[in-house]
Each structure stands twice: as structure tokens, then as C-alpha cells.
Amino acid sequence: MKRLVSLLFVIVLYSCSSVRVHYDYEKAVDFTSYTTYNYFSDLNTGLGELDTKRLLKSLDIVLQSKGMLFSEEPDFYINIESDLYHAVHNNTAGLGVGGTGNSVGGGISVGIPIGKTKNRREIIFNFVDYKKDVLFWEAVSIDTYRENQTPAQREMHIQTIVNKVLNKYPPKGKRK
């Protein structure tokens, strides 16, 4: 029962997390011609080894659920890159001091950041046509990165990212 409550807490926590995804693709591409995939042999995701394994496993599950097959001679390759950065504070509280007298004015204002700095992680997914060596689809995910996650939390968060990233692949009107 305790494990079930913990799992529900994690699900609620990550359902509230904001994973934003931006997409771009070549309009003229026939996405139905891409049925097999693989990863670049020199893939360097920028993630730790265990998180890379989790990410690739999640990608395999979702892509294969869309009818695609992993192949040594694929229609397209997947490249993944990531970067961590500190989010800029959007909110500040102002403190001002001013004075006037004899038509002379002056003032001092100081902005104080509210909240703590958040770590953000950007993961870029590039799908590259094998024969043409041309990028045809790209997704960029941005999410809050939490350093002290358990392996189960990391796996669930990566699954959330992959599901959201591949939710719109292939693009609407370009689906099988």
C-alpha cells in the first residue's frame, strides 16, 4: 500500500511538471516512407549513461508502438543532444527610495529575485534521413531538472518527456 501511495505521488508530481516541446519539420517530406530507425553510432546525449539507457528504451517503446522497427539499415537515424542551464528569474520585488525638494528629484530602485533558481534541461531530438543525410524532423523539449531523483522517478520523468516529444510524430496530416 505504501508503495502504491508513493507511485501515485510520483505520477501526480510529474503530471504537474511542465515539459514543453517545440517541433519543426520539412513540409514536403513523406513521413510514411520512414518505417525503420536507428541511433547515430557516435550518439552523445549529454546525459548520464543510465539516463541515456532509459531514454533510448523509452524511445524504442514509443516508436515501435507507432509501427516502426529498429534496424541496422534504417530509413532514418536519431541524434539526441542535451544541455543543462539555470533558469532566469522572471519575478522580482522592487524596493525604491526617492526624494524631492526644490524641483530636484532622485531615486534608487533595487530588484530582488523571488524564488530559487531552477535547473532546466533541454533535450533536442533530430531525425535524419539515412540516404539523403538531411534533417527532416526535430523536437526540442525543455523541462525542470531535479538532481536528487530516485531511479524510478528518473525513468518516469524520461517516459513523460519521450511521450510528449513523440506525441506529434509524425506531424498531423503526415501520419500513416
Q: What is the pLDDT of residues 122-147, one digit of tens each?
A: 999 999 999 999 999 999 999 988 88
Q: Are 114 and 91 in contact (CB under 8 A)?
A: yes
- Confidence grade of residue 61 (pLDDT, cut at 50, 70, 90): very high
Give the pLDDT mean for 52-62: 97
pTM assigned to the model: 0.74
Neighbours of 110 (CB within 10 A): 10
The conformation of residue 88, written as its DSSP 8-state character, comes to: P
- At residue 49's C-alpha, the angle toward residues 67 and 76, to 5°, is 30
Maximum CA pair distance of the chain? 82
Per-residue pLDDT at 7: 45
User: Cell 510524430 belongs to which residue?
Assistant: 169
User: Cell 535547473 belongs to which residue?
Assistant: 119
